[in-house]
């Protein structure tokens, strides 16, 4: 039985199914209330120390979620009702479940999205303790298993040992979820959007996260086909590795620049600069994860990457908050955030915050080959305003005698207005096509919604035509054009992008080798 879904992290996994939605191991009742109480206390303690261990390995928002869970578990007000029920004769597991279910119901009843979303946290907290209470106590998922269920909690992903393979298959889920990002960076195969139809939850299953499918109770023939695909994927990956250290060239001898996308300064630690042509996109939202970052924090983050890249270009995108990337204290709540105050719109509305980033960029520019681009530009006026702020800050730094340099300023092409009428932008230093947003705006299909994922294709003629138009405009005017969306690293999309005229792609570091291998196959 085969069910199709959406690939969230490519790869193949064959192994036993592990039911993510199964109730935790049965709890063995104790002799009296005192022992029941002790069992609950011990389970809460175990859950807290497990979370505390995960916090050390997590960063940014993952750590924030875990710290919140710990604080809830350590609050007597959460466990109070459960201990009271134990006192009146209930077993510890039922008492805890009832107490937490009542909390969950409270959150689910809220009329606000944010509060309702916390119900998932309360369920996660409930289950962590129930699992700790189970007879074996240990919750570790078996190595090499395919984790199958509605959705997966980040804590579950973080505590699973992926060293022996395994994968994730979700009925719902999202390619934009936190776990999906973690899976891609660790090379864990993952498929989402498999739908409600459940296969038999016993025996082995086959997970094809290259095309997006899971096969339950596979026939010998299916297993054989699967293993061929898996080994072909592994071969391609292996072959790709030989491409890694070489410059990318098509079959016809056309040179293609391949840069990397990074989100954290530490991302570059694992990359050999010789394997890429620079950083095509450095996101800066991460800096805005915990607090609004001060100038020094930003300066050091940018400088680290610039020094790593040497004389190769590093394109840093000014903060692209809003949309699916809310930053409390900075972004605003909106009913339709993807069409709201995000990217450059937000930066121009909050100039106090934008100016801090601008100063940090101007100062860092002297340490390498910096280029700066603005996200979500829709009109040339926005570009002019942002560029003017750079010039203004440059004047102020010069007056104070602070070392700095004004980098080339370019724009993201992700709002269709820019791709349709690029002539308004003849004076920008470069274009970088953000294919994720461009596609979702052209196709009117959210990229984090599994139900419309089939519409969200960069290879739709409408999207490709816009990309080709921008590439042609750039060639005409001598303005460099690159692409930094997920499509750039997708072997299935690369031929179409090169045919559309692009010669400069920026991809996730993990996709570098495969992208170069795919380029070598194209006859452009």
Please tell me the distance from the alpha carbon of residue 262 to that of residue 20, in angstroms, as a whole number: 31
| Choice among 69, 276, 404, 484 that is catalytic | 484
Residues in contact with another protein by the rule CB under 8 A? 60-61, 64-65, 67-68, 71-72, 75-78, 103, 106, 110, 112, 114-115, 118, 121, 176, 178, 181, 263, 283, 285-292, 321, 323-333, 436, 447
Smaller CB separation from another protein, 63 or 198: 63
Neighbour order of strands in the sheet with 2-4: 2-4, 213-216, 204-208, 12-19, 146-149, 167-170, 190-192, 6-9
Minimal distance, residue 438 CB to another protein, in Å? 13
Q: What are residue 181's DSSP bridge partners?
A: none
Smaller CB separation from another protein, 12 or 302: 302
Please tell me the distance from the alpha carbon of residue 318 to that of residue 361, in angstroms, as a whole number: 9
Element (H, E) at 233: helix 220-244
Minimal distance, residue 78 CB to another protein, in Å? 5
For residue 137 the two structure tokens come to 């106590």
Please tell me the distance from the alpha carbon of residue 513 to that of residue 241, in angstroms, as a whole number: 6
Is 447 one of the annotated binding-site residues? yes
Among 429, 490, 427, CA closest to 459: 490
From start to end of 217-290, where are the E strands? 248-249, 255-262, 279-282
Question: CA separation (Å) from 134 to 46, 128, 153, 422?
Answer: 11, 10, 19, 62
Among 266, 305, 234, CA closest to 513: 234
Smaller CB separation from another protein, 333 or 381: 333
Minimal distance, residue 511 CB to another protein, in Å? 15
Please tell me whether residue 116 adopts helix, strand or coil conformation: helix
Smaller CB separation from another protein, 78 or 256: 78
Please tell me whether residue 245 adopts helix, strand or coil conformation: coil
Minimal distance, residue 222 CB to another protein, in Å? 35
For residue 18 the two structure tokens come to 């592990």
Is 283 one of the annotated binding-site residues? yes
Minimal distance, residue 185 CB to another protein, in Å? 11
DSSP state of 21: T
For residue 473 the two structure tokens come to 């405009």
Is 423 one of the annotated binding-site residues? no
Contact residues for 85 (Cβ-Cβ < 8 A; gap 6+)? 94, 95, 98, 99
Smaller CB separation from another protein, 91 or 154: 154
178 included as an active-site residue: yes
Is 369 one of the annotated binding-site residues? no
| Choice among 178, 211, 300, 404 that is catalytic | 178
Smaller CB separation from another protein, 3 or 505: 505
For residue 522 the two structure tokens come to 């194209």
For residue 149 the two structure tokens come to 């269920």
Minimal distance, residue 453 CB to another protein, in Å? 15
Q: What are residue 282's DSSP bridge partners?
A: 262, 316
Please tell me the distance from the alpha carbon of residue 509 to that of residue 489, in angstroms, as a whole number: 9
Annotated binding-site residue numbers for Mg(2+): 414, 437
Q: Could you list the active site residues? A: 178, 484
Q: What residues are designated binding site?
A: 283, 317, 414, 436-437, 447
Q: Which parts are annotated binding residues for phosphoenolpyruvate?
A: 283, 317, 436-437, 447
């Amino acid at each position: 039985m085969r069910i199709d879904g959406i690939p969230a992290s490519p790869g193949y996994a064959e192994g036993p199914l592990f039911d993510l939605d199964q109730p935790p191991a049965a709890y063995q009742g104790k002799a009296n209330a005192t022992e029941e109480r002790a069992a609950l206390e011990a389970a809460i303690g175990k859950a807290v120390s497990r979370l505390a261990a995960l916090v050390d390995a997590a960063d940014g928002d993952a750590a924030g979620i875990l710290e919140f869970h710990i604080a809830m578990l350590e609050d007597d007000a959460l466990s109070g009702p459960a201990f009271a029920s134990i006192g009146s004769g209930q077993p510890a597991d039922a008492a805890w479940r009832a107490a937490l279910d009542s909390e969950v119901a409270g959150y689910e009843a809220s009329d606000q999205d944010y509060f309702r979303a916390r119900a998932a946290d309360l369920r996660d907290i409930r289950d962590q303790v129930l699992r700790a209470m189970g007879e074996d106590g240990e919750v570790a998922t078996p190595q090499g298993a395919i984790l199958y269920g509605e959705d997966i909690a980040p804590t579950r992903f973080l505590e699973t040992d992926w060293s022996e393979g395994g994968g994730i298959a979700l009925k719902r889920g999202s390619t934009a979820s936190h776990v999906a990002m973690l899976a891609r960076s660790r090379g864990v195969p993952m498929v989402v959007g498999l739908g409600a139809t459940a296969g038999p939850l016993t025996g082995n299953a086959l997970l094809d996260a290259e095309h997006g499918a899971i096969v339950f109770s596979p026939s010998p023939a299916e297993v054989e086909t699967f293993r061929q695909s898996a080994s072909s994927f592994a071969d391609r990956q292996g072959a790709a590795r030989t491409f890694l250290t070489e410059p990318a060239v098509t079959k016809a001898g056309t040179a293609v620049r391949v840069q990397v996308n990074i989100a954290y300064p530490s991302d570059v630690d694992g990359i050999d600069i010789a394997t890429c042509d620079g950083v095509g996109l450095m996101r800066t939202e991460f800096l805005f994860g915990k607090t609004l970052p001060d100038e020094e924090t930003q300066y050091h983050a940018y400088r680290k990457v610039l020094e790593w890249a040497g004389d190769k270009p590093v394109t840093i995108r000014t903060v692209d908050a809003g949309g699916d990337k809310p930053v409390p204290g900075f972004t605003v709540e909106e009913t339709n955030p993807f069409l709201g105050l995000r990217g450059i719109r937000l930066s121009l509305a909050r100039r106090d915050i934008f100016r801090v980033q601008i100063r940090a960029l101007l100062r860092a520019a002297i340490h390498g080959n910096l280029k700066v681009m603005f996200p979500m530009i829709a009109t040339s006026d926005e570009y002019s305003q942002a560029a003017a702020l750079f010039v203004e800050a440059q004047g102020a730094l010069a007056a104070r005698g602070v070392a700095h340099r004004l980098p080339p300023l370019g724009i993201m092409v992700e709002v269709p207005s820019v791709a349709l009428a690029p002539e308004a932008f003849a004076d920008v230093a470069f274009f970088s096509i953000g294919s994720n947003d461009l596609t979702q705006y052209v196709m009117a299909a959210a990229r984090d919604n599994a139900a419309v994922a089939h519409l969200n294709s960069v290879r739709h003629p409408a999207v490709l035509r816009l990309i080709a138009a921008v590439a042609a405009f750039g060639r005409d005017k001598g303005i460099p054009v690159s692409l930094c969306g997920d499509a750039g690293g997708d072997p299935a999309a690369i031929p179409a992008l090169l045919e559309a005229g692009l010669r400069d792609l920026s991809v996730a570091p993990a996709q570098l080798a495969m992208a170069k291998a795919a380029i070598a196959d194209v006859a452009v």
